[in-house]
Structure 1
């Protein structure tokens, strides 16, 4: 399984919207600038996320996008399935029922089904809130480390 640029950018867009939720509706121009992404490319992603009810949209002056769901309700799995379609590791698992004529006698099918379950459980278990919490925790660790370094290099004349 390889996640496309569309999937990665959609994830970054949703994280950006969650981080700036207090700013109200956010323009694609602002998201693109903060994330270093093409606004045109984000315009292709918006309809996909809109279909899932993940985004709220308003037009006109100060129009833009915001999350329609809380960050704790938005999973990485849902975002990637929206942009990628199936995340199955093999094509025979992309449809139900399995269209493969060999599926009833396939010795490897349980391996692929297990891998698919692990992938989906993992991605569905990560929410945007989880990502934000991890980011804030890492930022705090960096802040404390920088503070410790600054305190250790203060000379006798500094306080």
Structure 2
């Protein structure tokens, strides 16, 4: 299974926000630069994650992005499941619809495979994604996406 680019961007943002220092608020633009993502893509991810209650996005002076407690506690499986949705993997309902859909076993097999994929991610926490050495890499990213050289 391949994740959409949207889910990838969203997970990168959650990971970066999970390692933010106390009081550190990133702007959407900063996060986009750090994670090498177009600003418009990052803005859509921020909006969706905020809608899901995983990210708090405050506008204006002193505003920025913060991972909520729900975001911190979420499993990667739950996040991916919500972002990817329950769409058809094989295009059974395309226009025109597949003529085999009424008696097809592939659709069920693909659904079961997707669920197994999600279940395997249910045991992965956001916090486990950002443990060392990933934590250091994420915290050292600059706004242009490059790592800080020789941190002391």
Does the pair score TM above 0.5? yes
**Corresponding residue number in structure 2 for 1:144:** none
Please give the residue correspondences for 1:1-159 in structure 2 after superposition, counting only pairs within 5 Å: 1-69=1-69, 72-86=72-86, 89-90=89-90, 101-102=102-103, 107=105, 111-136=109-134
Higher relative contact order (CA 8 A, sep 6+): 2
TM-score normalised per structure 1 = 0.66
The answer for unaligned runs of 5 or more in structure 2 is: 93-100, 138-152
Structure with the bigger percentage of helix:
1
1-side partners of 2:10 and 2:122: how far apart? 16
SS at match of 2:14: helix
Q: How far did 1:68 drift?
A: 1.1
Paired positions, count:
129
Residue 82 of structure 1 aligns to a residue in which SS? helix
For 1:138 and 1:115, locate their aligned partners in 2 and report how far apart those are by CA, in whole Å: 34
Deviations 1:60-111 (A, max 9, x none): 112111111256512222332333222775567xxxxxxx533xxx555664
Larger gyration radius, structure 1 or structure 2: 1
Gaps of 5+ in 1: 93-99, 140-159
Question: Cα distance 1:113–1:16, how it changes in 2: closer, same or farther (>3 A)?
Answer: same
CA distance in 1 between partners of 2:65 and 2:135 (Å):
27
* Cα root mean square deviation, aligned: 2.8
If the length of structure 2 is used for normalisation, what is the TM-score?
0.68
